[in-house]
Amino acid sequence: MPTAGWWEALWPDPAGVLAAVGIKPGMEVIDLCSGDGWFTLQIAKIARDVIAIDIDFNMLEVARDRLNESSVANCDFVAGDAYELAKLVAGPADFVFMANAFHGVPDRARLARAVRAALKPGGHFATVNWHQRPREETIALGEPRGPKTELRLSPQRTIEAVESSGLKLAHLVEVQPYHYGTVFRQPPA
């Protein structure tokens, strides 16, 4: 998880990112690999309910404190492995959101299958990924930031991995200055 300061500088409008990928009022949303809750808080302000899932219990506690400070109570915090998503939630969701984590998944096709199993018919899965640009070019607060250059994924590699699960690309969005979003749809039943 990035250190505080530059993360906030890089994401001054997290709610705008969520709107761009299609998170809407009334949805049941899973924030997968939720980290310290920077996006979770904004999702909770839009959605009906949120489940924040992270493998790191300490990160979930930071996220819990963040939401408590804003008196936002429509979020459950679940510690667990993203591959086991279907076992971590009680039922399927309208939307699974995953920011800044898909590049680090060892078996992305497996993860995509797990996400598909946790989505309602017609539900959506969005990844927000660093563009495949050299790390020295992605500067925030004066320093190169983000994952190593060789870990970064092109939109095409992301799409291939996720579509292998049966989810279908719905749209691609630019997320300035250094990210893109891929949004996939679970076919209707």
Ligand X SMILES: C[S@@+](CC[C@H](N)C(=O)[O-])C[C@H]1O[C@@H](n2cnc3c(N)ncnc32)[C@H](O)[C@@H]1O
Residues that bind ligand X (CB under 6 A): 1, 33-35, 38-39, 54-56, 59, 81-82, 99-101
- Nearest approach, Cβ of 103 to ligand X (angstroms)? 9
Residues 6 or more apart whose Cβ sits within 8 Å of residue 173:
20, 21, 180, 181, 183
- Nearest approach, Cβ of 186 to ligand X (angstroms)? 20
Report which residue type is found at 45.
K
Contact between residue 56 and residue 81 where contact means Cβ atoms under 8 Å apart: no
If one counts every other C-beta atom within 10 angstroms of the C-beta of residue 157, the result is: 15
How far is the C-alpha of 51 from the C-alpha of 78, rounded, in Å?
7
- The residue nearest ligand X at its CB is 35
Q: With respect to ligand X, which residue has the nearer C-beta, 28 or 36?
A: 36
Q: With respect to ligand X, which residue has the nearer C-beta, 4 or 187?
A: 4
Residues 6 or more apart whose Cβ sits within 8 Å of residue 89:
30, 51, 53, 78, 118
Q: With respect to ligand X, which residue has the nearer C-beta, 51 or 99?
A: 99
- Nearest approach, Cβ of 188 to ligand X (angstroms)? 28
Q: With respect to ligand X, which residue has the nearer C-beta, 102 or 121?
A: 102
Contact between residue 88 and residue 119 where contact means Cβ atoms under 8 Å apart: no
Pairing of strands 119-130, 179-185: antiparallel
- Nearest approach, Cβ of 55 to ligand X (angstroms)? 4
- Nearest approach, Cβ of 189 to ligand X (angstroms)? 28
Residues in the chain: 189
How far is the C-alpha of 173 from the C-alpha of 126, rounded, in Å?
10
- Nearest approach, Cβ of 39 to ligand X (angstroms)? 5
Q: With respect to ligand X, which residue has the nearer C-beta, 110 or 185?
A: 110
Q: With respect to ligand X, which residue has the nearer C-beta, 18 or 159?
A: 18
